[in-house]
Chains A and B, each alone.
Chain A
Amino acid sequence: MLDLTYEAPKPKVIQGAKHDWELVIGLEVHAQVASRAKLFSGASTQFGAEPNSNVAFVDAGMPGMLPVINEGCVALAVKTGLGLKAKINLVSAFDRKNYFYPDLPQGYQISQLYHPIVGEGEVLVDMAPGIARLVRIERIHLEQDAGKSIHDMDPNMSFVDLNRTGVALMEIVSRPDIRGPEEAAAYVGKLRQIMRYLGTCDGNMQNGNLRADVNVSVCRPGDYEKYQETQDFSHLGTRCEIKNMNSMRFIQQAIEVEARRQIAILEDGGTVVQETRLYDPDKGETRSMRSKEEAHDYRYFPCPDLLPLEIEQDFVDGIAAGLPELPDEKKARFVLDYGMTEYDAGVLTADVENAVYFEEVARGRDGKLAANWVINELFGRLKKDEKTIGESPVSPQQLGGIIELIGKGDISGKIAKDLFEIVYVEGGDPAEIVESRGMRQVTDTGAIEAAVDQIIADNPAQVEKAKVNPKLAGWFVGQVMKATGGKANPAAVNQIVAAKLGL
């Protein structure tokens, strides 16, 4: 496997009133499994359905109803684990996490506290070319999502929508290896990227199918290294958990705000209380949700309705055999195969659709040129129209055609941009468009010389000035290009103008 070398980023340092502080961050990411049916029922997981229309009897906690594990969800969790280079546990088990809430119909969430399906793994979080943080994954477990309580539709009543109840989530728990707000957001982004490559989670944060609980603590420089040496948490500060973040921007803001809150307390001689907090983006502050004393006692115990989940090594091997090329490998390959920069490779592999598109454009053509065109022209144009790569009006074959015309010298870079716009708006075969619209580049020096002679003859005053100030040659080049409708080969024009002016 190809690997790019990297070094770890510097931890974020916040200057307090008295001294410097560092951040220590761990995340619990809840990723909705990309399954059409729920974890323990056959009900649909479709987003945006009529309230309470995707609800099986077991989802509603009806008496006597029993959960049955969805094998598809198990396969997707295993696939995610393999994508995070994690240990797959052939025997795992489900536990009940007990608490009362109206959107939790059974009165417990079925989760995996004691024996998760996926054990330790790792994720490389790219921060800049050559700079990346290796974040250790502690575990991934399968669990049920809760429903949705709606408190603002009626002054006296709350409403409950059970559509989301029982939808399969993977909770991906990291070690406290993340050292700054940007790293935290990049970590979530990397998980999202990997899971989208794998097809195990859509990663749509707006629809809530990727959410994160963020654990933040602060420590003095040097303390983290002591923790690393000993794995003794007492070197680190007391952490607070910020619940249910569903935007990368808010994750960064919340961490920053929370760290500063903790620093202010500590520098004031106070102590940070371990608790669960909520981030309020409007006020830009975190607020206590419940303290450790008020924390639920979840009374976890093995779910007696489900037998331990046993999977065969063959099942895991089958999934491993079907694993796609993952972002890190793809990026490294792009750098080596196409000679592009790590930055460009990062852009092109950010989303698997982008990478697939690029490789179709680049196949048998100039890879560097293809990368430039995909990143600068295509992505720029799509962004302007707020289109995704899947909605691109220009196919990889069409863009490849344009690049071929440039390579053959049939069109200049400038003409190519016009051609791209025509193909983008009107469609059509680039080569045919060049022919039918007479866009082919003029390389006939006779025709160019004639045009240069004409311009010189028409502008004697400019000629005199140019002889004093050779920079004015550019003006003649521009006039020639104008006269030829931009089709003259720019290199040839430069050369001839210089010669005729005697520069």
Chain B
Amino acid sequence: MSALNSLTIAAARDKLRSGEITAVELTEACLSAAEASGQLNAFVHHTPEIAREQAKAADARIAGGDAPAMCGIPLGIKDLFCTRGVPSQAGSAILNGFRPQYESTVTQNLFDAGAVMLGKLNMDEFAMGSSNETSTYGNVVNPWRSGNDDAALTPGGSSGGSAAAVAADLCLAATGTDTGGSIRQPAAFTGITGLKPTYGRCSRWGIVAFASSLDQAGPMAKDVRDCAIMLGAMCGHDPKDSTSADLPVPDFEAALTGDIRGKTIGIPKEYRMDGMPGEIEKLWADGTAMLKDAGAKIVDISLPHTKYALPAYYVIAPAEASSNLARYDGVRFGHRAKLSQGDGITEMYEKTRAEGFGDEVKRRVMVGTYVLSAGFYDAYYNRARKVRTLIKRDFEQVFADGVDAILTPATPSAAFPLGSMAEADPVQMYLNDVFTVTVNLAGLPGIAVPAGVNAQGLPLGLQLIGRPWDEAELLNTAYALERAAGFVAKPAKWW
């Protein structure tokens, strides 16, 4: 039998229910794996006491016959989620020492379903980054390596800790959040499955805000079925979040038939970028063929405003962030700079924020402040909002034309070496989000599924984009792709 920590949620659930294993055993296996994973730097805070207590409670529930699907399942929680009494810093020094007195709705939902929290997972500071190199805790290292090269690779970002922890079997699954691709890009870089649900499907209450109109929590797991199971436990209407949708939660797992015969899959021509690596081109073509073989109808589609998505995203997201991050001022919580004699409130703000925020956060706060300022608002922010409407309309049009899902690459490349972008123009890093930001701007569900490896053995992912609120069908299409792709590679353990 393989190690307990490498089980899927579905397999573990069945073993827990049959009494073959206990939640305590499962949790101990994960705690050991997590504690031995220091080189990956995926966990920034371990919570073994909480985990053991929750595991015991889960065993009691299972013994009592009350065992929801997530009962006894050990998870890692992205540091962006506020967890009561546990450090929750969003990967930022400005939240040093912050322990919230409240539990985010998503983590509370998971705990109510019996899930176990192993600890908090590393991430780019305030979820701003595509390589996990902006964290105050230092970068995460991807458990995958390129061929025989020992160079450390990025796990992607911002949910890099979540991706690495799942890929390295430190936990069964993890929570992620996705503002422009922060679930799907790291999932693709680490050979796992990550779902960004429809905007409004999961409550944002208690999740540190980056860009409120784009942020959405989702599951990062070992396969499509696990994403379906975990999403069901995470999501649901929350009156505490005005943007949370008051819609019933379907049984996502029950939708996984693998039957996509007669479904229409759109292939958007605008996603075929100049200079796209051959391995990505091939992956996309292979994925298209797989879905066709599974009985889907493949159609070429056009999403004409795609090329404006990235610029629009990098106006809207920083604009909202510049406002959302104003609260980190040293007055009530987190870091406050040491002041000199004669310093006033302005100096306190300036020094606190200069010390507490990293470069990427500062860059986005400045960009966001600029695009909202008098005289530039219409040229940047308002224009970006109009673009956003057009992008949304592009998708509505193709769905209205009968397309059930859209297939694209998840990322423009495989995982790249840590530090390789250090000297590059920040815009080069932003290009990582080119296939994913449109989904956030349109508020749609999107999923990254591992579909192959490149010549160096690194995982590559495909993205499927679904109709709003129809995660069930999207998951089923992803399930069909997963079965056809038969991706089973695992990183060789070196940590």
Contact = CB atoms under 8 A, between A and B. Distances in A.
Contacts of A306: 242-243
A66 interface: yes
B327 A107 contact: yes
Contacts of A65: 102, 205-206
Nearest to B204: A66
A64 B374 CA distance: 28
Q: Which of A62, A158, A297, A306: most chain B CB closer than 10 A? A: A62
Interface string A61-78: 111111111000000000
A227 interface: no
B443 to A, nearest CB: 12
Contact of A64 (B209, B211, B243, B326): B209
Nearest to A309: B242
Interface string A28-65: 00000000000000000000000000000100111111
A100 B243 contact: no
Contacts of B239: 68
A63 B240 contact: no
A62 B332 CA distance: 9
Interface residues of B, number: 43
A107 B209 CA distance: 14
B326 A100 contact: yes
Given A61-B327, A100-B329, A297-B373, A69 B242 contact: yes
A160 B331 contact: yes
A64 B329 contact: no
Q: What's the dominant secondary structure at chain A's contact region?
A: loop
A108 interface: yes
Nearest to A299: B372
Contacts of B322: 98, 299
Interface string B302-328: 000000000000000001101101110
Contact of A62 (B100, B212, B240): B100
A305 B242 contact: yes
Given A98-B372, A301-B323, A305-B242, A64 B345 contact: no
A105 B319 contact: no
Q: Which of B95, B101, B326: most chain A CB closer than 10 A? A: B326
Contacts of A301: 319-320, 323, 372, 377, 381
Contacts of B408: none
A57 B101 contact: yes
Contacts of A101: 345
Contacts of A305: 209, 212, 242-243
Nearest to A69: B242
Interface string B188-212: 0000000000000000111111011
Nearest to B325: A107
A85 to B, nearest CB: 31
A20 B369 CA distance: 46
A307 interface: yes
Contacts of B326: 98, 100, 106-108
Nearest to A104: B326
B120 to A, nearest CB: 14
Contacts of A300: 372
Q: What's the dominant secondary structure at chain B's contact region?
A: loop
Contact of A66 (B240, B331, B381): B240
B84 to A, nearest CB: 12
B88 to A, nearest CB: 7
A63 B332 CA distance: 11
Contacts of B8: none
A304 interface: yes
Nearest to B373: A297
B333 interface: yes
Contact of B349 (A57, A63, A100): A100
Contacts of B98: 63
A66 B207 CA distance: 10
Interface in A137-162: 158, 160
A96 interface: yes
A304 B213 contact: yes
A102 B323 contact: no
Contacts of A106: 326-327
B241 interface: yes
B208 A102 contact: no
Nearest to B375: A297
Contacts of B204: 64, 66
Given A102-B331, A305-B212, A66 B242 contact: yes
Nearest to B80: A64
Q: Which of A65, A68, A160, A304: most chain B CB closer than 10 A? A: A304
A107 B323 contact: yes
A101 B346 CA distance: 9
Nearest to A40: B242
B82 A102 contact: no
Contact of A105 (B101, B104, B213, B327): B327
Given A67-B242, A105-B327, A304 B212 contact: yes
B372 A63 contact: no
Given A64-B81, A297-B374, A305-B209, 15 more contacts: A57-B102, A61-B327, A63-B90, A63-B100, A64-B100, A66-B204, A66-B205, A68-B241, A96-B323, A98-B322, A100-B329, A105-B331, A301-B319, A304-B211, A304-B243
29 contacts: A61-B332, A62-B333, A63-B90, A63-B98, A63-B100, A63-B209, A63-B327, A64-B82, A64-B104, A64-B205, A64-B207, A64-B209, A66-B205, A66-B242, A67-B242, A98-B326, A98-B372, A101-B345, A105-B331, A107-B323, A107-B325, A107-B326, A108-B326, A297-B373, A299-B372, A299-B374, A304-B212, A304-B213, A306-B243
Interface of A: 57, 60-69, 96, 98, 100-102, 105-108, 158, 160, 297, 299-301, 304-307
